[in-house]
Amino acid sequence: MLKLSQMWGFNSVHEFAIGKLEPILAENFMDTVVLAQEYGITKWLLPGLLGLARRAEPIGTEDVRKLGLDTALKLADVRESMQKTSTVTVTQYTGYSYNQSTSSPVISETADGPRGATTCDFTNRIRRVFGLAV
């Protein structure tokens, strides 16, 4: 329905199809992003990419096949923009008793939380990497 309504310029049918698909795609972020790119549904792109950035599984070959290399690499950039730090005991390596720890991850561009956490917000980073409007 999306394809035909877009091909024939049936805007009301296109919007109807989008409305019907939204609840179906609510948790299927891969299909959301693929359809958003294919049919120019910009309002789906950010939520879909955010869902993919938050998932625990790394970007794999199947993701590259579905998303395309450019999108998969940009998504990997977003996901890898967050570096988690942990307690480091220097005595393990040097014999000195210096202990340095941090209580929170080092975050790049307001990504907040560990990968796979539903509260992690990569929104600003996604907008910058994918060139999406605010």
Question: How many separate domains does the chain show?
Answer: 1
DSSP states along 89-126: ETHHHHS---EE--SS-B-STT--S-TT-TT---HHHH
The DSSP code for 56 is: S
What is the distance between the alpha carbons of residues 76 and 120, in angstroms, rounded to a whole number?
A: 15
Residue 24, C-beta contacts closer than 8 angstroms, at least 6 positions apart: none
Residue 100, beta-bridge partner list: 88
Q: In terms of residue numbers, what domain contains 36?
A: 2-130
Q: For strand 99-100 and strand 88-89, is the pairing parallel, antiparallel, or unpaired?
A: antiparallel
29 phi and psi angles, rounded to 5 deg: -65, -35
> pTM to 2 decimals?
0.73
In a structure prediction context, what are the per-residue pLDDT tens digits for the chain, which is 134 residues long? 999 999 999 999 999 999 999 999 999 999 999 999 999 999 999 999 999 999 989 999 999 999 999 999 999 999 988 754 333 444 444 555 444 444 434 334 444 455 555 567 899 999 999 999 88
* Distance between CA atoms of residues 59 and 120, nearest Å: 17
